[in-house]
Chains A and B, each alone.
Chain A
């Protein structure tokens, strides 16, 4: 079975530019999560969706960050305008429901560098 698919794998852009990260969850999974990983802060949950609806975005750092899930097989995380401190690895993960008892499966991540 195909796992979680993220694109692009690497993104290098200049400060102030818009960045869009993409994710395709595992087919049949109804929960989708966006995480950010840095050396300083580790792996942090940004936002998660259930059946395409955003449930909790309390981890989104600023209004510059936004996420959407227009259908069950696609989600985006957008940063506009980007800043150097947004440089990190961004992971998407998906899982089945069952009140958090099901494990989350991670994509390969997008390594984002803002110059």
Chain B
């Protein structure tokens, strides 16, 4: 599998703040980038995906991609206690395979 590195957690943010999650990847040929949220004991749930350089917004979530720097990030605005989870960055390689980072655990303090 190709390398995907995520910033080490845990990340603790107060309710209402912005949580910023970062991810770097090793395969320059990667074309698709995904963020999954995983609650403890549950399965990964798709939050965002992005293919093109720049920003993509969906509600309180914004994904940012910079292929030249091999960097993808996720911003969670107005963080809520329900956002407390582990966030997995996934990057495709060889077209259909996904390599996952180890995850960043986010805790939103009420």
Contact = CB atoms under 8 A, between A and B. Distances in A.
- The majority secondary structure among interface residues of chain B is loop
A100 interface: yes
Interface residues of A, number: 24
B21 to A, nearest CB: 16
Interface of B: 1, 31-32, 34, 36, 42-46, 49, 51, 88, 92, 94-103
Contacts of A42: 100-103
Given A45-B97, A91-B44, A105-B46, A100 B31 contact: yes
B1 A45 contact: yes
A70 B64 CA distance: 40
- The majority secondary structure among interface residues of chain A is strand
30 contacts: A42-B101, A42-B103, A43-B44, A43-B100, A44-B1, A45-B97, A45-B98, A45-B99, A48-B96, A50-B96, A56-B94, A56-B97, A97-B96, A99-B31, A99-B95, A100-B92, A100-B96, A100-B97, A101-B31, A101-B32, A101-B92, A103-B46, A103-B49, A104-B46, A104-B98, A106-B36, A106-B45, A107-B43, A108-B42, A108-B43
